Amino acid sequence: MTDPASTWSAGTDSVATGSAPVDPRTGPQTAVPVLDRFRMDGRVVVITGASSGLGAGFARAMSSAGATVVLAARRKDRLESLAEELRSRGGTASTVACDVADPDSCAAMVRAAMDEHGRVDVLVNNAGLGTAVPALKETPDQFRSVVDVNLNGAYWAAKECAAVMEPGSSIVNVASVLGLTAGFAPQAAYSATKAAVMGLTRDLASQWGARRGIRVNSLAPGYFASEMTDEIPEQMLADITGSTIFGRLGLQPELDAALLFLASDASSFVTGTSLVVDGGMTLH
């Protein structure tokens, strides 16, 4: 029997750029150089929470890898200026105001993406709220608002996207290491939702894999510099960086590369998993 690895490792006779996504139920059917398996040309990527922080960085990364990006969040003005920036670099980008906590708003987001671009290949479920409130002081509304965005919002957006996605599509749910381990601040709502997102990921991967050819994975970042981490007090930040093997926060390009792997054909045999990118924070 021929070793399948030998067939693909030296392939140079076709290029993935602009080709249909690889259906995970069959795997790659043509020889494609390995770096081309990461290309996103012709793919339409919806990114929630693209108005700031990691989501804006993900949009820049996906666009630079060739994708058409649909930027979604509540602050439309921020989305517009990011879209303008991407277009000025030759990218294709559109914007849509969306409150992910509202299922109708998620439906409208996907309708807008379909009307404008005709397909959705990737959803990056990145919108998130990172509150820190001691449990005995946290009000029901405070707790619910985090669940509404981080968990329910991810579910509404995934359902709407999966309904229009073709085989080979990929959903990436942005979870957190706080779904796996205790943090440094009182974050019951946040930690609970991020653990739940990993459970959601496993279940949707199982529901939509064989039936629809859609892969669902989660990305679990450690602490990355962003507007969310800007609010962390100095001493706590020192504790956080000290808990990593490398003694620092993660940087956006380090997370972009992991997202690109999960979003692209490079991960066509990967589903239901959680990719931890935390500088070794959860080792101990």
Ligand X SMILES: NC(=O)c1ccc[n+]([C@@H]2O[C@H](COP(=O)([O-])OP(=O)(O)OC[C@H]3O[C@@H](n4cnc5c(N)ncnc54)[C@H](OP(=O)(O)O)[C@@H]3O)[C@@H](O)[C@H]2O)c1
Handedness of CA 6, 10, 14, 17 (dihedral sign): positive
Contact residues for 7 (Cβ-Cβ < 8 A; gap 6+): 31
Which is closer to ligand X, CB of 32 or CB of 101?
101
Judged by CB under 6 A, which stretch of 22-30, 92-100, 115-123, 269-277 contacts ligand X? 92-100
Query: Using CB under 6 A, which of 28, 53, 66, 213 touches ligand X?
Result: 53
Among 68, 191, 218, 226, binds ligand X (CB under 6 A): 226
Minimum distance, C-beta of residue 222 to ligand X, in the bound complex (Å): 7
Choosing from 54, 59, 165, 171, the residue that interacts with ligand X (CB under 6 A) is 54
Which of 58, 143, 156, 190 is labelled catalytic?
A: 190
Tell me how far apart the alpha carbons of residues 278 and 255 are, in angstroms, rounded to a whole number. 9
Q: Which residue, 127 or 275, has its beta carbon nearer to ligand X?
A: 127
Nearest in space to 137 (alpha carbons), one of 193, 189, 177: 189
CB nearer ligand X, residue 213 or residue 222: 222
Beta-bridge partner residues of 72: 48, 96
Chain positions 97 to 126 lying near ligand X, rule: CB under 6 A, are 98-101, 126
Choice from 176, 218, 244, 271 touching ligand X (CB under 6 A): 176
User: Per rule CB under 6 A, is residue 229 in the interface with ligand X?
Assistant: yes
> How many angstroms separate the first and last alpha carbons of the chain?
43
In a 10 Å sphere around its CB, with 0-12 CB exposed, 13-18 middle and 19+ buried, how is residue 138 labelled?
A: middle
Number of residues that bind ligand X (CB under 6 A): 29
Binding status of residue 28 toward ligand X by CB under 6 A: no
190 is catalytic: yes
| The one among 38, 52, 202, 237 contacting ligand X by CB under 6 A | 52
In 3-state terms, what secondary structure has residue 97? strand
Sheet containing 92-97: order of strands:
92-97, 68-73, 44-48, 122-125, 170-174, 215-221, 274-277
Q: Cα Rg for the chain, rounded, in angstroms?
A: 19
Least distance between ligand X and beta carbon 78 (Å): 6
**Alpha-carbon span 207 to 77, nearest angstrom:** 36
49 sits near ligand X (criterion: CB under 6 A): yes
Residues that bind ligand X (CB under 6 A): 48-49, 51-55, 73-75, 98-101, 126-130, 149, 174, 176, 221, 223-224, 226-229
**Active site residues per annotation:** 190
